[in-house]
Each structure stands twice: as C-alpha cells, then as structure tokens.
Amino acid sequence: GAGVSQSPSNKVTEKGKDVELRCDPISGHTALYWYRQRLGQGLEFLIYFQGNSAPDKSGLPSDRFSAERTGESVSTLTIQRTQQEDSAVYLCASSIQWGGLYEQYFGPGTRLTVT
C-alpha cells in the first residue's frame, strides 16, 4: 500500500515568511509524528497526534511552530516568521497506534531552506 507522503519535497523561502508543510499518513495509522533533522544531525522530535486526543506539543522549539491534524488524516506543520536556523529536513512518520511500542514509518521529508 501507499506509504507516508509529504509535500512539498523542497521549499525555499525568505527569512520572515511563513511556510506550511503537509503530511499524509499511511491509511489506517492513527498516530502521526513530526521530526526535524538538521544537516548531519539526529532526529529531533517536534509533535505527535493520536486520533482525536490532544497532541503532545512538547517538542516544538518555539511558538512560531504549530501543527494541526484533521481526525486521523492529513497533518500540516506551520512555521511562522521563518529564521535561518529553521533550515532542516522535516520528517513525518506514522504508526498504527500511539506510543513508542509501535513501529514508525517515515515519509520522504520536506527539505526547508530559509535564505
């Protein structure tokens, strides 16, 4: 079946502009996660959603970052007033259920470059 999809694959934006990144999880997966990976570094947890429960936003680095998810489908990650340090690959993953016990499958990522 189809895997996790993300769009756009690449995004170049000017400092100070807002960007919106999209993630479409695997069908039937109730949990969705966003991570950030800076060049040459590990994965940094940002936020996760589980069904209709309140999301865990504890990894969001600042109030410029926000995310939404409609039910168990598409999620959008919004970064307002982008800064150069926001340049990274933003990865979305989904799993069949919430919690660290379940395997997470990643999308191809969105490479964000802030100039």
Partner 1 sequence: QKEVEQNSGPLSVPEGAIASLNCTYSDRVSQSFFWYRQYSGKSPELIMSIYSNGDKEDGRFTAQLNKASQYVSLLIRDSQPSDSATYLCAVNSGSRLTFGEGTQLTVNP
Minimum CB distance to partner 1, residue 57 (Å): 12
Please give the span between the terminal C-alpha atoms of the chain, in angstroms, as a whole number.
37
- Residue ranges in 47-106 that form contacts with partner 1 under rule CB under 8 A: 48, 56, 89, 91, 98-106
Region 8-47 residues binding partner 1, contact defined as CB under 8 A: 33, 41-43, 45
Residue 86 backbone phi and psi in degrees, to 5 = -80, -10
Largest CA distance in the chain: 39
Residues that bind partner 1 (CB under 8 A): 33, 41-43, 45, 48, 56, 89, 91, 98-109
